[in-house]
């Protein structure tokens, strides 16, 4: 079996066994469980999802706010 055919076989096995079970994205290749959840893929590729980054930025931004700043924010709501 050539290297190219082996990769194709592994890819086909991955897709054939891919399942979404509740909150878990799982596949099995050669009997090993493969987690392909968005969180795991982002971690593997070192990607910070924009919404997570924005929340972290906003938390850091308001960490040292005084009461006047919080009151100003409440008034805007």
The structure tokens listed for 3 are 């290297």
What residues contact residue 73 under an 8 Å CB cut-off, 6+ apart? none
CA distances from 11 to 7, 24, 76 (A): 6, 20, 53
- Distance between CA atoms of 62 and 48, rounded to whole angstroms? 21
Question: Regarding predicted confidence, which is higher, 13 or 2?
Answer: 13
What is the greatest pairwise CA distance in the chain? Answer: 71
What mean pLDDT comes out for the span 54-71? Answer: 83
Domain boundaries, the chain: 1-46, 48-77
What mean pLDDT comes out for the span 40-56? Answer: 82
Q: List the Cα angle 57/62/63 in 5-degree steps.
A: 95
């Amino acid at each position: 079996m050539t290297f190219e055919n082996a990769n194709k076989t592994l890819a086909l096995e991955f897709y054939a066994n891919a399942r979404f079970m509740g909150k878990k994205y799982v596949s099995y290749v050669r009997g090993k469980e493969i987690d392909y959840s968005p969180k795991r893929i982002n971690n593997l590729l070192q990607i910070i999802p924009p919404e997570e980054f924005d929340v972290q930025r906003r938390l850091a931004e308001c960490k040292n706010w005084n009461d006047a700043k919080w009151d100003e924010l409440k008034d805007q709501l």
